[in-house]
Amino acid sequence: MPGSTSSKIRTPIILVNFKTYIEGTGKNALKLAQACEKVSLETNVCVGVAPQFADIFSIANAVSIPVFSQHIDPFGAGSFTGHVLPESVKEAGAVGTLVNHSERRLKLADIDAIITRARENKLAQAVCSNNAAVSAAAAVLKPDMIAIEPPGLIGSGIPVSKAKPEVVSGTIDLVRQVNRDAVVLCGAGITRGEDVAAALKLGTEGVLVASGIVKAKDQYGAVMEFAEACRKHR
Amino acid sequence: MPGSTSSKIRTPIILVNFKTYIEGTGKNALKLAQACEKVSLETNVCVGVAPQFADIFSIANAVSIPVFSQHIDPFGAGSFTGHVLPESVKEAGAVGTLVNHSERRLKLADIDAIITRARENKLAQAVCSNNAAVSAAAAVLKPDMIAIEPPGLIGSGIPVSKAKPEVVSGTIDLVRQVNRDAVVLCGAGITRGEDVAAALKLGTEGVLVASGIVKAKDQYGAVMEFAEACRKHR
Amino acid sequence: MPGSTSSKIRTPIILVNFKTYIEGTGKNALKLAQACEKVSLETNVCVGVAPQFADIFSIANAVSIPVFSQHIDPFGAGSFTGHVLPESVKEAGAVGTLVNHSERRLKLADIDAIITRARENKLAQAVCSNNAAVSAAAAVLKPDMIAIEPPGLIGSGIPVSKAKPEVVSGTIDLVRQVNRDAVVLCGAGITRGEDVAAALKLGTEGVLVASGIVKAKDQYGAVMEFAEACRKHR
Amino acid sequence: MPGSTSSKIRTPIILVNFKTYIEGTGKNALKLAQACEKVSLETNVCVGVAPQFADIFSIANAVSIPVFSQHIDPFGAGSFTGHVLPESVKEAGAVGTLVNHSERRLKLADIDAIITRARENKLAQAVCSNNAAVSAAAAVLKPDMIAIEPPGLIGSGIPVSKAKPEVVSGTIDLVRQVNRDAVVLCGAGITRGEDVAAALKLGTEGVLVASGIVKAKDQYGAVMEFAEACRKHR
């Protein structure tokens, strides 16, 4: 992966955001991460997990797949009570971080500072964005990954890759004008293998997914369906 | 402790906020927490620690003293990427949380919601405040603890308990008019045992401290000096 | 009015929040303010208006009724681009300000600082709150007015004074335990004269209203209906 | 001016940010705007003013030079109490707006939405940025103007155009790679005519200035010195 800061991270990637779902908290989070690891080992497809801060340590010490933080703050070490120091999630075992998720939108200057701070800590950065123009703006800051997620489709079950293919391909086009290297992912409404296949066909190198896997009755089966779609694509 | 949600928490309490200091991150955080535990076991004085989110799990599994989160969010389980679910820090081992620290000031309605959410999760709440009036306003919301910290003195080395005793005693008076039970702590500039003694003499039931211990060359010695002051006070 | 900073403000008061409705912007705002003034002059009931910042000057120079800002910032004069200096809205003609509206929730320490800054500028403060406990917490800070608005009912057309009378009376009870003087208003879902009458009967001294008047086809008629209800109550 | 939404705005431009300085509030703001207009009429150099929201109406009705808002919000008309509707400042007489000033930093997605909303209202947009990379990221969103202001120099009296010429020229280079049309301004520490001359020589088309003019003992003289520097440059 170009610009990657971790040899663990390969594309195509299925990046599973645990959000603050109960099914992705504490012991549930650990079990889900282990299911993701199992699929990854069985299919040789890269599956990353983004659990809550307090679950990074136990998960990163239990599984071999890449663990992402859901957010880091732009600050350096110091007097920032209640904030997330990049060094802290790194030492807990994270190899990457989400940045600017639609549920944790950030100031432009902070996105820039966070990318720098993440790089200093060898944390891969997946910057989330809401449309093609914002994706390209973020791409100028040279993060490792851009994840386009149209807000209206998040959690909707309507897959961006099938309902709004032009948003995905338009994002890739616009990003490529300013950044040749960034890996482009897409997310929002992805619940089935065919949604993943459609995303890859549009030129993305993976998906950012949450409820489609975390809320699935059969989490292992859902990840496996996604991974099979990735394997077939190659 | 009145209203306490954890039998671990007793007063007088020395509550050590690790902030995002490097000396309080990762392995350093674990070592510091162990030093705090050692003092607590040797003196029988309650010493609590508030490490970063990602360090709660490893610390809470290693020590017997109370572990606090530095912040929790008011949300329930759901779609809140990058936020701190009370259930998450609870399951990682926290028994309490700071709320509204001066470096993480919160909206009034969120402080109210966080206290409710913390209570649901049996997490003790230490609400930080900047003056007597704000302390009393917070006290109306019935948190377990109020920690008054005049912003100008935080990290200054000038102890609030000696430089501004009237702020501390005025806070206690105003809080007592609206809340008989809340434990009142004070913080800011506390670096020596005599500062702790002065705080207890003014009627507080403990101190909230950060750099005075985390940045001390001899962390164990610093905590011990604080604990001795507590022991003498009884 | 106890603690009032403006002789213009009397109770019972109908306080009309123009929000950022087009019907309450620019020339529309001026016309609406004039309709409010007409009703006030005809009924001798106090009707206040809270237009957008950029409309305060033209409205305050055109009508004799009290003009409120929708928000002010806690800062003093200085380097705070894009913020709302109390001195600025005062000089433009405002005699009061909303504080902590549910659409502009504020940090607890900022509410405290804003009340102080408003008082320095002789601006009456109407602090909005979402429940009884938060109302009482705000009341400790001694604002001139507290306006309780349950979030779920705002803009709903279901009047708080009829649907949740216990919230209104519970708020008054709790506020009175910590503050004898603050005027208590209620809002949310108020669209008819009978809703206003119900609010006054519960012990409030007025209402905070927005869509019920601003979005009414006959704005003058709507204000008149509210004012008549106030007049009958006396 | 390419992409301009107002025939009033021409380059080179001196854009004066009144911040929340007392010298730029209320009647003082009006007097300062009139001094700026006088210089503009005498020198035929474009001088724009960015007063506080509540002062836009009286200033825009008194002077012929371009009036900017210091900020607008991304929202449409509706329930957004305490926010700044683009329609509102437009109707009050503004022809442009600052966006993302260092004292009012915005979320990336909001900057994108604000530029769109400003365009809908024919308000020129001057997006402020803190370094070359952030400037280029903002430029991707196609605002009319980019104003680079290194935070450390704001209000310092050390002119960016002389102390950090490489930041200014580096910004222009990076912006031009993604946007051919945006007017680039620079700001921070600009207090003398020679600072303005240096800024123009580096390839900017004007300056964003605050204390250098607003806090000057002789405001008219200060603006005149800036305007003369612009005139000589042509």
What ipTM score was computed for the predicted complex, to two decimals?
0.94
Q: C87 CB near a chain D CB, below 8 Å?
A: yes
Query: Shortest CB distance from D19 goes to which of C27, C55, C80?
Result: C80
Give the closest-approach CA distance of D232 to chain C in angstroms. Answer: 30
Question: CA–CA distance from B183 to each of B12, B124, C93, D138 (Å)?
Answer: 9, 11, 45, 49
Q: What's the pLDDT score for residue B5?
A: 47
**3-state secondary structure string across B149-202:** CCHHHCCCCCCHHHHCHHHHHHHHHHHHHHCCCCEEEEECCCCCHHHHHHHHHC
Q: What's the pLDDT score for residue A155?
A: 78
Chains that touch B (3 or more CB pairs under 8 A): A, C
Q: What is the mean pLDDT of residues B108-118?
A: 98
Neighbours of B105 (CB within 10 A): 18
Cβ pair D141:A131 closer than 8 A: no
* Strand pairing class (A183-187; B96-99): unpaired
- pLDDT band (50, 70, 90) for residue B7: low
Question: CA–CA distance from A41 to each of A38, A45, A200, A227, A232 (Å)?
Answer: 5, 8, 21, 11, 16
- pLDDT band (50, 70, 90) for residue B100: very high
CB pairs A-B closer than 8 Å? 149
DSSP letters, A136-188, are HHHHTT--SEEEE--GGGTTTS--HHHH-HHHHHHHHHHHHHH-SS-EEEEES
Chains that touch A (3 or more CB pairs under 8 A): B, D
pLDDT tens-digit series, residues D209-223: 999 999 999 999 999
- Phi, psi dihedral angles at B107 (to 5 degrees): -70, 145
- Which is nearest to B125 in space by CA: B178, B80, B171, B70? B70
The verdict on whether omega for the bond into residue C159 sits within 30 degrees of 0, i.e. cis, is no
Clarify whether B149 is annotated catalytic: yes
DSSP letters, B4-50, are -S-TT--SSEEEEE-TB-GGGSTHHHHHHHHHHHHHHHHH--EEEEE
Q: What's the pLDDT score for residue D6?
A: 56
Residues in chain C predicted with pLDDT less than 70, given as ranges, are 1-7
- pLDDT band (50, 70, 90) for residue D118: very high
Can you give the CATH number for the domain in which D189 is found? 3.20.20.70
The verdict on whether omega for the bond into residue A12 sits within 30 degrees of 0, i.e. cis, is yes
Cα–Cα distance measured from residue A136 to residue A73, given in angstroms and rounded to the nearest whole number: 22
- Which is nearest to B87 in space by CA: B105, B69, B63? B69
Q: Residue B86: inside a domain, yes or no?
A: yes
Q: Residue D22: inside a domain, yes or no?
A: yes
Closest residue in B to A18 (Cα) is: B81
**pLDDT at residue D5 is higher than 70:** no
Give the closest-approach CA distance of A107 to chain D in angstroms. Answer: 4
Task: Please tell me whether residue C206 adopts helix, strand or coil conformation.
Answer: strand
Q: What's the pLDDT score for residue D7?
A: 65
Q: C117 CB near a chain D CB, below 8 Å?
A: no
Q: Residue D3: inside a domain, yes or no?
A: no
**Residue C218 burial class via C-beta count within 10 angstroms: exposed 0-12, middle 13-18, buried 19 and up:** exposed
Closest residue in C to B176 (Cα) is: C178
Q: Which helix (H) or strand (E) holds C214?
A: helix C211-214
- Which is nearest to C205 in space by CA: C11, C7, C51? C11
In this prediction the pTM is 0.95
**pLDDT at residue D149 is higher than 50:** yes
Query: What domain range is B61 assigned to?
Result: 13-233
Give the closest-approach CA distance of B101 to chain A in angstroms. Answer: 7
Q: What's the pLDDT score for residue C154?
A: 80
- Which is nearest to C117 in space by CA: C146, C89, C79, C82? C89
Q: What's the pLDDT score for residue C3?
A: 42
- Which is nearest to D127 in space by CA: D161, D88, D97? D97
D65 DSSP assignment: S
Q: What's the pLDDT score for residue C37?
A: 98
Q: What is the mean pLDDT of residues A113-136?
A: 97
Q: B231 CB near a chain C CB, below 8 Å?
A: no
Q: What is the mean pLDDT of residues A47-61?
A: 98
Q: What's the pLDDT score for residue B233?
A: 84
- pLDDT band (50, 70, 90) for residue A176: very high
Q: Residue C6: inside a domain, yes or no?
A: no
Rounded to 5°, the CA angle A50-A52-A56 comes to 75
Q: Residue B5: inside a domain, yes or no?
A: no
Query: Shortest CB distance from C82 goes to which of D56, D71, D94?
Result: D71
Evaluated on CA atoms A74, A129, B77, A218, the torsion sign reads negative
Q: Which helix (H) or strand (E) holds C66?
A: none
pLDDT tens-digit series, residues B222-234: 999 999 999 988 7
* Tokens describing residue C216: 């009414």
Is-contact A120 A86, C-beta < 8 A?
yes
Name the active-site residue from C37, C71, C101, C225.
Answer: C101
Name the active-site residue from A37, A101, A205, A225.
Answer: A101
| Region of residue A44 (phi > 0: left; psi between -120 and 50: alpha; otherwise: beta) | left
Q: What's the pLDDT score for residue B4?
A: 46
Q: Residue A21: inside a domain, yes or no?
A: yes
pLDDT tens-digit series, residues B193-223: 999 999 999 999 999 999 999 999 999 999 9
- Which is nearest to D73 in space by CA: D58, D88, D60, D59? D88
Evaluated on CA atoms D4, D9, D15, D18, the torsion sign reads negative
Chains C and B touch (3+ CB pairs under 8 A): yes
Q: What's the pLDDT score for residue C151?
A: 87
C108, C112, C114, C118: CA torsion to nearest 10: 150
Clarify whether B71 is annotated catalytic: no
- Our separate counts of H helices and E strands in chain C read 10, 8
- Our separate counts of H helices and E strands in chain B read 10, 8
Interface of D with A in 122-161 (CB under 8 A): 129-131, 133-134, 136-138, 140-142
Q: What is the mean pLDDT of residues B102-116?
A: 97
Q: Angle between the C165-178 and B165-178 helix axes, to the nearest 10 degrees?
A: 140
pLDDT tens-digit series, residues B142-175: 999 999 998 888 878 889 888 889 999 999 999 9
Cα–Cα distance measured from residue B196 to residue B14, given in angstroms and rounded to the nearest whole number: 9
Q: Residue B2: inside a domain, yes or no?
A: no
Cα–Cα distance measured from residue D105 to residue A111, given in angstroms and rounded to the nearest whole number: 12
Q: What's the pLDDT score for residue B1?
A: 47
Number of domains, chain D: 1
Q: Residue C217: inside a domain, yes or no?
A: yes
